[in-house]
């Protein structure tokens, strides 16, 4: 078994026990994670896909909101780092019985949990836990606030494919208002020097985003030809409480990445999607499987990025104790 | 009965146009023109301001029903410690105060347990549900001083119109928490830059302003006093200024947190900063202060809203709205409006806590006129102090002002000649 820890240098630059948001990170911290993830990615290509970095550590995947791919990705990342993993979902947790988030967290701490990966419907929930626990808290999505590891795997994928982030033109298309993926992505991309365009119906992409240093664009067709990356967010029309646009049909007419629109993309322009995809809505089905699509790279890289995050935060937490 | 001389203080009594160094006499618990007998107690008020007992016309004392947050007794203690001799309680108790027996219960309970005057309000609608008018006349007979669905807002304009028309028969003010439910939805903070960054549902200014406008139209239509509670937005001030300029009987109220803090505080996700209406922006603060300075806003209040620690210590969007405020409001307003912004004089500030609410509610308080109840507050407007929530006399501790350095505070609170609190 190759027991080399691939990130000895990187961890010296990382002091946070928690990963709560991209907004609070410096560009250098983001790069530390990306570099570390690059090293961890090689672990996945080995015959024996496991390093002992977190041996003896206990990780709780605490998912108060449903998720398959993020939870599985964190679980596999923890396995590859030799941590012991427990999964708690909303239906199996005491939150269903009216126990508060604080009490559930204190109970997990009493069991000497080292890392808590939290998915929660409330913005700020992971910060709430992190302020109260000595354990590392990793935000796996808090309401519409942030989903930092998704943004990290997205910029990792872009950097891997295009060699850089600075100066790239990146569009994020769709339901921005309710999207934690969009918020984390725009901070990560801005901090690393990309030009960010938010595209979607005015009801879902309010002008207030412009104060965050990005451009709000109403016409996808106006910018298609300039883009280096187009990141399509899932439209959850069926689950929306209110109507933000009249119909999926009309959404596709203005904002769907159709074959006609894709023809106008630069040949190197990456097509991304955080999943799960609505084929034929935000993206044409063939394009999702086409040569410009890096959707499955994103999934693969998510594992490496999460290994890096778990490793860095856990190491910092150990030092702080 | 109580006799007392308050010697050598700076008497500021806006109801009677007094602003002078003078002795103040109390005979048998009433303000007197003549001194009490020679053996009566004397309180020195040198270098202190002597004002009519302050009135906070917007508090939540949680009794009956939620006495783990506050009771009439503990709320009254906090009021006294803030310089308040009279408070006006909102009807969102449990059960809601929406009928004469509930009102009578509060009146009796307050008489037995509260050391300051407690004036109840009654609900506009049964169960605060916004559907059917509550028995307003019977509640007047039981002792309410206004009607309000505070915490809720009657959405049906036609029902609100009928309630306002009906209230006129009793010369009763209608107090409204201005919030359009459809506009606000599940909003938990000001809709703007910070709600966008934090991904928290926004509570737009227009959600308040639409109802302020509604109230202006109804106050004009029905020629009845409508009071817009805890205004938070610049647009509300503009609407109110215009309406008052046209002589419409509509008034506005300001709470200290709406000029002391902005929505940026919420980037900590600390629910101590969660209140309804929400903290807004510096632009709104400037407009609210201007509204006080030019007389558009005429009443100051706390919206004292106690909640237990365990109730507030939850995810931000699930925490209840509201903060306690009785012990900090006078100091915050003195610090911000008087000392820092110099927006108004001390006399104007005191009027906003005495004669103005008393006149709106038609209660015989807020005056040092001869024969009035000897409710008196002694204030040191220059005293510097640090607020520590652990010292609060309220049963709850939900405040964003822990550790704030403030300038000015009440030092003695007197109800019908009896000192109920002194520093």
- Strand segments, DSSP code E, in B347-404 are 376-386
Share of chain B above pLDDT 70, in %: 100
Cα separations (Å) of B318 from A242, B99, B306, B310?
A: 21, 30, 16, 12
**A167: CB partners within 8 A, 6+ apart:** A193, A194, A195
pLDDT in tens, B306-336: 999 999 999 999 999 999 999 999 999 999 9
A5 within a domain of the structure (yes/no): no
Q: Does B392 map to a domain?
A: no
Neighbours of B355 (CB within 10 A): 20
Number of domains in chain B: 1
Question: Chain A, 131-160: which have a CB under 8 Å from a chain B CB?
Answer: 142-146
pLDDT band at A239 (very low <50, low <70, confident <90, very high): low
Q: Which of B192, B198, B313 sits opposite A123 (nearest CB)?
A: B198
Q: Is residue B133 part of a domain?
A: yes
Structure tokens at B171: 């010369």
DSSP code string of B333-349: HIIIIIIIS--S-HHHH
Touching check for B318 and chain A: CB below 8 Å?
yes
- Average pLDDT taken over every residue of chain A: 91
Percent of chain B with pLDDT over 90: 100
Q: What is the CATH number of the domain that holds A314?
A: 3.40.50.1370
Look at chain A and report how many structural domains it folds into: 2
Q: Which of A23, A102, A128 sits opposite B197 (nearest CB)?
A: A23
A194 and A94 share one domain: no
Q: What is the DSSP letter of B31?
A: E
The verdict on a CB contact (< 8 Å) between A208 and B269 is: no
**Same structural domain for residues A205 and A293?**
yes
CB of B283 within 8 Å of a chain A CB? The answer is no
Which stretch, A271-280, A312-321, B241-250, has highest mean pLDDT? B241-250
Q: Which helix (H) or strand (E) holds A43?
A: helix A27-45
- Domain span at residue A218 reads 148-299
Q: Residues A277, A138: one domain?
A: no
Same domain, residue pair A276 and A196: yes
B375 is written with which tokens? 């409710």
Q: Give residue A98's pLDDT.
A: 76
| pLDDT in the model for residue A235 | 87
User: Does any domain span residue B379?
Assistant: no
What is the full DSSP assignment across A97-142? GT--HHHHHHHHHHTT-SEEEEEESSTTHHHHHHTT-SSEEEEEEE
Residue A210, domain member (yes or no) = yes
A255 belongs to a structural domain? yes
The C-alpha angle B194, B197, B203, rounded to 5 degrees, equals: 50
Find, in chain B, the residue whose alpha carbon is nearest to that of A23: B197
pLDDT digits (tens, 9 = 90+) for B150-183: 989 999 999 999 999 999 999 999 999 999 999 9
How high is the pLDDT of residue A108?
Answer: 87
Name the least confident of A93-107, B222-236, B289-303, B396-410. Answer: A93-107
> Are residues A155 and A235 both part of a single domain?
yes
**Residues B199, A183: C-beta atoms closer than 8 Å:** yes
How is residue B69 written in tokens?
């947050």
A145-187 confidence digits (pLDDT tens): 999 999 999 999 999 999 999 999 999 999 999 999 999 999 9
In a domain, B84, yes or no: yes
* CB burial of residue A98 (10 Å; 0-12, 13-18, 19+): exposed
Could you tell me if residue B388 is inside a domain? no
B192, closest residue in chain A (CA to CA):
A208
- Look up residue B116 and give its two tokens: 């300051």
Q: What is the mean pLDDT of residues A51-69?
A: 92
Give the structural domain span for B105. Answer: 53-368
What are the φ/ψ torsions at residue B402 (nearest 5 degrees)?
-55, 130
Question: Are the Cβ atoms of A211 and B198 closer than 8 angstroms?
Answer: no
Chain A nearest CA to B327, separation (Å)? 28
Q: Rg (Cα) of chain A, in Å, rounded?
A: 19
- Does the pLDDT at position A10 exceed 70? no
Domain for residue B376, yes or no? no
d(CA A113, CA A84): 10
A9 to chain B, closest Cα gap in Å: 32
Catalytic residues of B: 303
With an 8 Å Cβ cutoff, are A212 and B197 in contact? yes
With respect to residue A4, please indicate whether it lies within any of the assigned structural domains. Answer: no
What residues of chain B lie within 8 A of the CB of A144, using their CB?
Answer: 199-200
Query: Residues of B132-152 as b/e, b for ≥16 C-beta within 10 angstroms?
Result: ebbbbeebbebbbbbbbbbbb
Does the pLDDT at position A272 exceed 50?
Answer: yes
CATH number, domain of B208, equals 3.20.20.140
Tell me if residue B133 falls in helix, strand or coil. Answer: strand
Sign for the pseudo-dihedral over CA of B77, B79, B83, B86 = negative
* Token pair recorded at residue B411: 């030092």
**Secondary structure of chain A: what % helix, strand, coil (to 5)?**
45, 15, 40
Contact A101 B200 (CB under 8 A): no
> Taking the CA of residue A59 as centre, how many other CA atoms within 13 Å lie in the half-sphere pointing to its CB?
30
B196/A144 touch (CB, cutoff 8 Å), yes or no = no
Q: What H or E segment, with its residue span, contains residue A172? A: strand A169-173
Q: Do A155 and A294 lie in a common domain?
A: yes
pTM value is 0.94
| Contact call for A145 and B199, based on CB within 8 A | yes
**A181 and A294: one domain?**
yes
Q: With an 8 Å Cβ cutoff, is B314 touching chain A?
A: yes
Indicate yes or no: CB of B199 within 8 angstroms of CB of A23. no
Q: Residues A307, A287: one domain?
A: no
Q: How far, CA to CA in Å, does B162 sit from each of A101, A119, A281, B157?
A: 45, 48, 50, 9
- The pLDDT of residue A3 is above 60: no
Beta-carbon count within 10 A of A73 CB: 25
- pLDDT over 90 (residue A49): no
Query: For testing the chain B interface, which of A65, A105, A122, A211 should be mutated: the one with the most B CBs within 10 Å?
Result: A122
- Å from B280 to nearest chain A CA? 15
Is A64 within the bounds of a domain? Answer: yes
Distance CA B322, CA B318 (A): 12
Return the pLDDT at A65: 86
Note whether residue A3 is domain-resident: no
Phi first, then psi, for residue B23 (nearest 5°) are -85, 145
Within a domain: residue A1?
A: no
Query: Do both A108 and A158 map to the same domain?
Result: no
Q: In angstroms, what separates the C-alpha of B318 from chain A's closest C-alpha?
A: 8
Q: Choose the mutation target among B187, B197, B200, B203 for the interface with A, i.e. most A CBs under 10 Å.
A: B197
Q: Using pLDDT thresholds of 50, 70 and 90, give the confidence band for residue B287.
A: very high
SS3 A36: helix
Instruction: Provide, as residue numbers in chain A, all residues whose Cβ is less than 8 Å from the Cβ of B200.
Output: 123-124, 143-145
Position A183 in a domain: yes
Angle of helix B205-222 relative to helix B157-168, nearest 10 degrees, comes to 40
């Amino acid at each position: 078994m190759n027991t080399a820890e691939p990130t000895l240098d990187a961890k010296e630059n990382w002091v946070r026990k928690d990963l709560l948001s991209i907004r609070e990170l410096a560009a250098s911290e983001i790069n530390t994670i990306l570099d570390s993830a690059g090293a961890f990615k090689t672990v996945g290509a080995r015959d024996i896909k496991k390093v002992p970095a977190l041996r003896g550590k206990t990780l709780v995947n605490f998912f108060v909101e449903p998720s398959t791919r993020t939870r599985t990705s964190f679980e596999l990342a923890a396995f590859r780092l030799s941590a012991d993993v427990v999964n708690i979902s909303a239906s199996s947790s005491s939150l269903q019985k009216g126990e508060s988030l604080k009490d559930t967290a204190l109970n997990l701490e009493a069991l000497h949990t080292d890392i808590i990966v939290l998915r929660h419907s409330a913005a700020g929930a992971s910060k709430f836990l992190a302020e109260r626990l000595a354990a590392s808290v990793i935000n796996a999505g808090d309401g519409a606030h942030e989903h930092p590891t998704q943004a990290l795997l997205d910029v990792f994928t872009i950097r891997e494919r295009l060699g850089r982030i600075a100066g790239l033109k990146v569009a994020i298309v769709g339901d921005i208002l309710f999207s934690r993926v969009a918020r984390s992505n725009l901070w990560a991309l801005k901090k690393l020097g990309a030009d960010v365009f938010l595209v979607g119906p005015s009801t879902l992409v309010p002008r207030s985003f412009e104060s965050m240093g990005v451009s709000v664009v109403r016409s996808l067709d106006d910018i298609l030809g300039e883009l280096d990356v187009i990141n399509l967010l899932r439209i959850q029309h069926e689950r929306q409480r209110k109507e933000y646009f009249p119909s999926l049909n009309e959404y596709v007419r203005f904002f769907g990445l159709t074959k006609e629109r894709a023809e106008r993309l630069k040949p190197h322009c990456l097509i991304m999607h955080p999943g799960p995809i609505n084929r034929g809505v935000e993206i044409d089905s063939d394009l999702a499987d086409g040569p410009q699509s890096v959707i499955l790279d994103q999934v693969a890289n998510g594992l490496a990025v999460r290994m890096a995050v778990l490793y860095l935060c856990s190491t910092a937490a150990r030092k702080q104790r | 009965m109580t006799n007392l001389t308050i010697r050598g203080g700076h008497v500021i009594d806006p109801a009677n146009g007094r602003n002078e160094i003078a002795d103040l006499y109390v005979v048998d618990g009433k303000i007197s023109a003549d001194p009490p007998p020679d053996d009566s107690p004397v309180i020195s008020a040198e270098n202190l301001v002597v004002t009519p007992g302050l009135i906070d016309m917007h508090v939540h004392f949680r009794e009956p029903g939620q006495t783990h947050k506050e009771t009439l007794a503990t709320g009254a203690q906090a009021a006294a410690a803030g310089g308040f001799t009279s408070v006006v309680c909102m009807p969102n108790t449990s059960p809601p105060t929406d009928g004469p027996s509930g009102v009578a219960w509060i009146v009796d309970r307050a008489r037995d347990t509260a050391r300051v005057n407690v004036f109840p309000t009654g609900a506009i609608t049964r169960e605060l549900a916004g559907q059917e008018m509550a028995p307003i006349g019977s509640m007047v007979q039981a002792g309410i001083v206004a009607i309000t669905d505070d915490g809720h807002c009657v959405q049906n304009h036609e029902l609100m119109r009928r309630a306002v028309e009906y209230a006129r028969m009793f010369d009763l003010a209608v107090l409204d928490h201005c919030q359009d439910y459809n506009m606000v939805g599940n909003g938990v903070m000001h809709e703007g830059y910070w709600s966008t960054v934090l991904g928290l549902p926004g509570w737009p200014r227009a959600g308040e302003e639409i109802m302020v406008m509604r109230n202006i139209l109804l106050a004009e239509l029905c020629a009845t006093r409508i009071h817009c509670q805890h205004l938070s937005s610049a647009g509300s001030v503009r609407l109110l200024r215009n309406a008052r300029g046209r002589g419409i009987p509509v008034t506005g109220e300001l709470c200290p947190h709406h000029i002391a803090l902005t929505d940026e505080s919420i980037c900590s996700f600390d629910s101590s900063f969660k209140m309804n209406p929400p903290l807004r922006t510096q632009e709104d603060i400037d407009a609210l202060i201007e509204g006080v300075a030019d007389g558009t806003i005429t009443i100051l209040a706390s919206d004292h809203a106690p909640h237990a620690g365990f109730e507030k210590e939850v995810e931000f969007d699930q925490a209840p709205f509201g903060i306690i405020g009785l012990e900090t409001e006078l100091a915050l307003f003195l610090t911000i409006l008087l000392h820092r912004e110099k927006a108004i004089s001390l006399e104007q500030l005191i009027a906003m806590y005495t004669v103005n609410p008393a006149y709106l509610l038609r209660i015989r308080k807020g005056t040092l006129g001869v024969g009035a109840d000897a409710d008196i507050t002694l204030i040191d407007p220059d005293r510097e102090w640090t607020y520590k929530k652990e010292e609060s006399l309220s049963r709850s501790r939900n405040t964003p002002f822990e550790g704030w350095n403030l300038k000015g505070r009440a030092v003695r609170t007197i109800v019908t000649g009896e000192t109920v609190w002194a520093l």
